[in-house]
C-alpha cells in the first residue's frame, strides 16, 4: 500500500499519551495529555473521541496500549525487528485502526521487552537521524539500550535506572538527603566516576556515610546519586560496545545527563529528538500498512 495523505498516530504510554496528525508525510498537529493506558478503560470510546477531535482518519497506536494495562495484549515481535516485522505484527482492531507490536529479545538466558520505544528506534534510522548500525539509548524510568543492525533492532537491554532513583528518593534511608534537583555539576561528575566502579549497593550507602560525616552537603547528594546510577548504567553498556558515537533519544534534561556520562567514558554522545524519531517511525509504518 502507499500511505494515505492523512492519518493519526498515538504514542500511548502508561501515564501519558501524545496524539499526532500527519498530512503528506509531516506532523501538522500534536498534543500531549495524561490519559495514559493505565487510566483508561474504554479504549474504543477514547479512539472515537480522538477521531472527533483530530479527524476521522486511519490510526496507528503504539506503546502500552498493547500491553496488559492497555486495550488488548499484542504479541511481541522477536529481534531482529525492523519496520517490516512491525507491520507484519500489527494487531488490527478494525480495517483502519491497528496497534503496533512491542519487541522482545532473549540472549544468554536474559530476556527483555519493549513497547513503544521500537517506533522511536526504527524512526531514528528511517529518518537518517542515526546510522543503520548504532547503539541508541532511551533514558527514562526504564532506560532502553538498543543495538541497531542493518537498520533493524538487533538486541537490547533495559536498565531500571530511573526507577531505582525514584525508589531511593521516595522510600529509602537516603530519601531525606535526595530532595534537591539533579544538575550536571561537580557532584554529578563525581557520581559518574563512582558509578563506573559498578558497585551500586556500596556506592549508594556511601551517600549516607558522607552525609553522616559531613563530607558532602545534602544539596549535592541527589546529583551525586543520579551520577552513580547513570554512571553505572553507561559503564555497563560500554563493556562490549563497538561504537565511537553513542546516540541518545531523549528530552534535553535527561539527555544532557546521559550525554555527560557517555562523554566521561571517552565516547561521543549525540542527542536525537525522541518526538521527531517517533514521528518518522510511525510514518514509515503508515507508509507500508495504511
- Distance set, CA 171 to CA 91, 100, 203 (Å): 39, 35, 17
Q: Which is nearer to its own copies, 129 or 262 (CB)?
A: 262
Positions that interact with its own copies (CB under 8 A): 76, 104, 106, 109-113, 142-143, 157-161, 163-164, 167-168, 170-173, 190, 194, 197-206, 208-210, 212-213, 215, 229, 232-233, 236
Q: At closest approach, how far in Å is the CB of 202 from its own copies? A: 4
* Cα–Cα distance measured from residue 200 to residue 178, given in angstroms and rounded to the nearest whole number: 16
Side-chain-facing half-sphere of 40: CA atoms under 13 Å: 27
Determine if the peptide bond prior to 3 is cis (ω within 30°): no
Q: At closest approach, how far in Å is the CB of 258 from its own copies? A: 13
Q: Are strands 91-94 and 77-78 parallel, antiparallel or unpaired?
A: unpaired
Q: Which residues pair with 91 in a beta bridge?
A: 99
Q: Are strands 134-138 and 77-78 parallel, antiparallel or unpaired?
A: unpaired
CA 242, chain centre distance (Å): 22
CB 228 within 8 A of CB 203: yes
Q: At closest approach, how far in Å is the CB of 118 from its own copies? A: 14
Q: Which is nearer to its own copies, 91 or 273 (CB)?
A: 91
Q: Which is nearer to its own copies, 2 or 171 (CB)?
A: 171
Q: Which residues pair with 138 in a beta bridge?
A: 144
Q: At closest approach, how far in Å is the CB of 157 from its own copies? A: 5
User: Cell 496528525 maps to which residue?
Assistant: 21
Q: At closest approach, how far in Å is the CB of 109 from its own copies? A: 8
DSSP 197: T
For helices 186-195 and 218-238, the axis angle rounded to 10 degrees is 40
User: Where are the strands (E) in the chain, listed by range?
Assistant: 6-12, 17-23, 26-33, 59-63, 77-78, 91-94, 97-99, 103-107, 110-114, 134-138, 143-149, 152-159, 245-249, 268-272
Q: Which is nearer to its own copies, 133 or 190 (CB)?
A: 190
Q: Which is nearer to its own copies, 171 or 266 (CB)?
A: 171
Positive or negative, the CA dihedral 74, 80, 83, 89 is negative
Q: At closest approach, how far in Å is the CB of 110 from its own copies? A: 5
Q: At closest approach, how far in Å is the CB of 106 from its own copies? A: 7
Q: Which is nearer to its own copies, 38 or 44 (CB)?
A: 38
Q: At closest approach, how far in Å is the CB of 147 from its own copies? A: 14
Q: Which is nearer to its own copies, 26 or 201 (CB)?
A: 201
Q: Which is nearer to its own copies, 161 or 274 (CB)?
A: 161
Amino acid at each position: 500500500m502507499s500511505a494515505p495523505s492523512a492519518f493519526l498516530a498515538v504514542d500511548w504510554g502508561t501515564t501519558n499519551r501524545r496524539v499526532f496528525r500527519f498530512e503528506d508525510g509531516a506532523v501538522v498537529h500534536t498534543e500531549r495529555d495524561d490519559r495514559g493506558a493505565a487510566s483508561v478503560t474504554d479504549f474504543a470510546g477514547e479512539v472515537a473521541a480522538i477521531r472527533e477531535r483530530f479527524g476521522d482518519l486511519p490510526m496507528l497506536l503504539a506503546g502500552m496500549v498493547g500491553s496488559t494495562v492497555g486495550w488488548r495484549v499484542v504479541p511481541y515481535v522477536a529481534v531482529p525487528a525492523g519496520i517490516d516485522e512491525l507491520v507484519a505484527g500489527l494487531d488490527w482492531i478494525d480495517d483502519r485502526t491497528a496497534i503496533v507490536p512491542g519487541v522482545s529479545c532473549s540472549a544468554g538466558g536474559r530476556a527483555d521487552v519493549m513497547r513503544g520505544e521500537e517506533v522511536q528506534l526504527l524512526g531514528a534510522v528511517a529518518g537518517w537521524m542515526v546510522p543503520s548500525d548504532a547503539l541508541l539509548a532511551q533514558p527514562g524510568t526504564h532506560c532502553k539500550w538498543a543495538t541497531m543492525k542493518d537498520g533493524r533492532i538487533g538486541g537490547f537491554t533495559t536498565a531500571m535506572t530511573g526507577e531505582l532513583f525514584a525508589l531511593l528518593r521516595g522510600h529509602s534511608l537516603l530519601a531525606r538527603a535526595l530532595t534537591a534537583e539533579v544538575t550536571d555539576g561537580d557532584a554529578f561528575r563525581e557520581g559518574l566516576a563512582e558509578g563506573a566502579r559498578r558497585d551500586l549497593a556500596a556506592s549508594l550507602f556511601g551517600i549516607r556515610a558522607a552525609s553522616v560525616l559531613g563530607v558532602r552537603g545534602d544539596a549535592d547528594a541527589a546529583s551525586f546519586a543520579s551520577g552513580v546510577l547513570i554512571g553505572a548504567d553507561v559503564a555497563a553498556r560500554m563493556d562490549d560496545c563497538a561504537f565511537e558515537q553513542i546516540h541518545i533519544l531523549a528530552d534535553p534534561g535527561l539527555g544532557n545527563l546521559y550525554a555527560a556520562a557517555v562523554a566521561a567514558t571517552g565516547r561521543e554522545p549525540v542527542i536525537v529528538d525522541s518526538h521527531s524519531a517517533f514521528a518518522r517511525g510511525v510514518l514509515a509504518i503508515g507508509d507500508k500498512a495504511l
